[in-house]
Every structure is written in structure tokens, then in C-alpha cells.
Chain A
């Protein structure tokens, strides 16, 4: 997943709903469901996220960085 696209999509849904009394109720329900699901997923992802620090060694491979 990419939270950047997810968050953009949430913003898009919000602006869609803000501008429209034109959105049909079933569409509205679907959009809200989608938005809430995205927000939940983002939050869970961020909750669980743990910083990964790697360094590139001379061969171009990555290795975990051990900080002194």
C-alpha cells in the first residue's frame, strides 16, 4: 500500500462529498465505506510501522546499520 495515494484518495472522497448533494445515497454510502476503510488501514499501518535503517555496503547490497 502507499499511504500517499491512500491519503490523496481520502481527500478526494471528502471533496467529492463536500461539493455534492448530487451524489446518490448508495454511492455516498460506498464512498464513506471506502474512505473509512482507507483511514483505518493507514492508521493500522502507521501504528505498526517500525523504522528500518539500512546501509549500503560497498557491493551495493543493503545491510542493517548498527549504530555505535
Chain B
């Protein structure tokens, strides 16, 4: 109410404020406050160890007017020291517990009255230490979490043990326990952490690297694993990493160097053992998907003494055969030692320089070998390799069907559009002919009229005249004396002008 921590922080500076706050949280302030009311100010005094702290708060403005401490820091600098920070923070707690919320709305005399009545309580006020020492479950757990996770001896460490309950999760996270004769450790390995180089199973002796972590909602501690390797495989694993890094730097794994796997192979070469599930899976998959292909198996030993040479020879044999479109190198799952044949530098070089595209499927999805990295395509399993090497027959059929349909439709459309165009042309022709005829007819009519007039005019020119009953031109031409009576009016048209006459006598023929 009177003092806001932000204001204290500003006035004291970050460093001093933090120290003061620590003192406050450690509950180092023991003695009770002594408060007094002087005019419009509330004066507070308190002993802090051997020092005396005092401050003056304005009831008018609800702000800190001045403060003082007898410690050397304050004496020297005149700035708020850590003791005052602690005192003021405690003061704030004290005020917020004792003063009503609407205090600052009161008039000054009411405030003074209230403060006066509160003085004994204020001065006797002490932190309820018992309450402060009671922690909520969350607070305790957070303290434990801070303690464990903040301890460098428990972070980024190596732990050796035996996997006791292994359960990979659909989400890609793995939960398991490590145990030895004396204890059990819950472990979790999250999806985003380093890929496993083997398939762990219950009973495996492993070394994990990670950190202790407290999971607050369950109040349990766990070991969060970043890396895991089989115990005793340290040397082999290190060798693998060394070879991998070396080849990577030489550009053996560059995407740009990867060859495209042919979409429609005629012959697929397989480097694998001729017995076992791997070759059967491959043959079965290819027969199902795309039987229009030849599989050429070059049998080799895939494990143990002499296997490296055997695989190399098989690969060379197949890469020399021009009819082979794609080569699959495949082997079933096994331990890091079992798969070691495929972590060979010689094999890597052979794959890298091979002209034929190579798909590698060594071990399970979680196993990675140098062979996988160098190959043009890595398949998680031998079956997947066979799928990646072949098109799906049914897809191909539906492509053929849809393209046949498209071809027919395109021809039909072309015909239709041509017929439509023809119809348009026809109707255009008819229309234009009719228009022409009409025009000619008009011309003819006009010529006719002109001719008619011309013939009348030529008659008049010769001295003949034209007689009309009545006065108007619209009257009918008079050709018989029967059509007119005596006394009636006639108009006679001459070559030039016209005359009007009245019939004086009519002679019948």
C-alpha cells in the first residue's frame, strides 16, 4: 500500500534489491517495529542486527518520504541499502495485513485516527513465522526440483545399468528402468534425442548419458536420457563415429551424389544371404508388387569372419552386370557387432563409386550403419527396400487405365469440337447467303421504282399529260370519262407544273 516493491527496486538498484529480498525471504528481520504518528507521517523504526533502520511514510501521498540506516553502505552513499530493502518489504507485508484495503480513500483525519488505533498492533506485529515455514506440496517439490536439477553432479552424467522394463511409446518416446543389484532408476528417452544405434531390449546392459529431472505432477524423479549405448561397446561405437565423421567430411553422404532409383527396373540385384528371412521377404514383396522383373541374387556371408570380403565381392559382381538396374544390400537385425561388416570403409568406397543405384537395408529401423549412410537410399527394413525398388503393379495398372481413358476422351473432345466448329461455319454460310439475297432484292426493288418513274417522265416530256381526279397527287389516274362527273375538279400533270380544271362537259364514248 505504501511501498511498492518495484519502487524499492528502482531506488535501491538491482543488486542491492536482490540482496535485501534474500534477507527478507530468509526471515532475517527479528525485532518488532516501533511506529509513531508525527503530524501527517507514519514513522517506523526497527533494529537490524547492530544497525538501526528508520523510515517515514506520508499518509497524504502514501509514499516513502525518507529512510535511514546506520550501516556503512548507507552512511557512505546515502542510498537505500539491503537492510532497508528488507525492512520495507516486511513493512509492506505488515501494512497489507493490518490496513483495510480502502485506506487510501479515507480523509486525512480519518486516516490518522485509524493509524492511531492501529499503532499498538503495528508495533507488536511480527511475521507469522510458523505459517511461513509451512510449505505447500508444490513448493516443496519445486525446492527438490531446484536442488536436484541445479546440481551439476546430477546433470549430463553417465549411468550404467541393466534395462528392466522397456516400453517404446507410439509417440516415439521411450520409457524404461535401469537397475542393478541395489536400486532402480526410472528413465525416459524422448523422441528428439540422439537416434539409437541399436534396438534396446529388457536385460541389455547399457550406459546412458543424461540428467536427473523431477517430474512435479507425480513427485517422482527420472533420468532423462540423451544418449544410450550398449555397455562394453564403447570402443566399437567410438570407431563407428570416427569412421562416420571421416566419410561425412569426405562428402560420401552428400545428397547431391545420390543416384536416383529407377522407377521401372528390369533386373534387381540383391546382395544378401541366400538363406533366411531377408531374401524371402524381398522376393515375396517384389512378387506381390511388380513381378515383371528379374531378381539376381549374389549370395554372400553377412556376418563374422570374411563377411566384409564376401559382401564386397558380391557387390562388385552385381555392379559389373549391365542388366542390373538397382542393387539392394540387405541384412536382418543384430547387435552392433553383428552389423559391423557394414561399417566398413572399403564397402563405403565401393558403394560410393558404384554406377548402379544402391538401396541399403541393414538391420532394424533403429540400426544405422555406414552402408546405410553411403547408399543412394536407406530402407528401414528389407521389405521396405523391395518396396522402394519397385513400382506397385496396381498403381501401374490404374495409370494405364486412366491414361487409356484420357486418350479416348481427348479424341472424342477433339471430334466434338471440330463438329461444333463445322456446324458454326455452316450456319454462318447460310446466314450470309440469305443476307446477300435480301440485299439484292432491295437493290432490284429500288431499280424498278426508278425505272417506273423514268418511264412516266419520258412520256410527259413528249407533251403527253397525266390527269388525276381531285386536287391531290394521291388521286387515281383518270382513264375513262365514266369515272368523272360534270362540275368535278381534276388535276393535270405536265412535264413542267400542273393545271387544275373543272369539268364543263363530259362526252361518253
Contacts and interface: CB of A to CB of B under 8 A. Distances in A.
Interface residues of B, number: 39
- Interface residues of chain B: helix, strand, loop or mixed (majority): helix
B403 A45 contact: no
Interface string B398-412: 011101101110110
Q: Most A CB atoms within 10 A — which of B275, B291, B403?
A: B403
A39 B398 CA distance: 11
Contact of B403 (A21, A39, A52, A53): A39
A66 B417 CA distance: 59
A23 B415 CA distance: 12
A68 B275 CA distance: 7
A28 B411 contact: yes
A17 B408 CA distance: 11
B411 to A, nearest CB: 5
Contacts, number: 101
Contact of A10 (B263, B318, B403): B403
Interface in A33-64: 35-36, 39-40, 42-43, 45-46, 49-56, 60, 62
Contacts of B401: 39
Contact of B407 (A4, A17, A43, A60): A17
Nearest to A41: B400
B264 interface: yes
A57 B355 CA distance: 22
Given A21-B417, A28-B411, A55-B298, A35 B283 contact: no
Q: How large is the interface on A (under 10, 10 to 19, 20 to 34, 35 or more residues)?
A: 35 or more
Contacts of B296: 54-56, 62
B414 interface: yes
A28 B414 contact: yes
Interface in A1-17: 2-4, 7, 10-11, 13-14, 17
A44 B20 CA distance: 90
A43 B404 CA distance: 11
B295 A51 contact: yes
Contact of B283 (A42, A56, A67): A67
Contacts of B293: 49, 51-52
B211 to A, nearest CB: 50
30 contacts: A7-B264, A7-B396, A10-B403, A14-B410, A18-B410, A21-B414, A28-B410, A28-B411, A28-B414, A35-B404, A36-B408, A39-B407, A46-B292, A46-B396, A46-B397, A49-B292, A49-B293, A50-B291, A51-B293, A51-B294, A52-B294, A53-B295, A53-B297, A54-B294, A55-B299, A56-B317, A56-B318, A62-B296, A65-B274, A67-B283
Interface of B: 262-264, 266, 274-275, 279-280, 283, 286-287, 291-299, 317-318, 393, 396-397, 399-401, 403-404, 406-408, 410-411, 414-415, 417-418
